[in-house]
Amino acid sequence: PDDMRAFGYQVVDVLVAHYAGLADKSPVSRGTRRDMEQVIQGEFSAQPTPPADVLAHVVQDVLPHTSLITHPR
C-alpha cells in the first residue's frame, strides 16, 4: 500500500504541474497521428514495466504532443 500511495502522489503532482502550467503551453499540438502512433506504439516487453517508468513516458513523450482542450486561451 505504501508504494501505491507514493505512486498516487506522483501522479497527482504531475497533474497539478500540468494544469498549473497550462497558460504557458501551446493549446494545439502540431504532431500528426503518425507521430503519435510512433510515440505510443512500439515494442512491448513481456515483462511488467514499473509504473514510474510508464508515468515518465507519458509525461515526457505523450503529454507534450496532446491538444489541450482545457487551455485558458
Q: How far is CA 42 from the centre of its chain?
A: 16
Q: Please give the backbone phi and psi of residue 7, each rounded to the nearest 5 degrees, phi first.
A: -65, -40
* 62, 31 contact by CB (below 8 A): no
Q: Where are the alpha helices (DSSP H) in 1-73?
A: 2-20, 33-40, 51-57
Quick one: pLDDT at residue 2?
93
**C-alpha span between 41 and 32 (Å, rounded):** 14
Name the DSSP letter for residue 61.
I
Q: For residue range 12-61, what is the model confidence (pLDDT) as tens digits?
A: 999 899 888 888 877 777 777 787 787 777 677 788 989 999 899 888 88
Examine the pLDDT at 73 and tell me if it is beyond 70: no
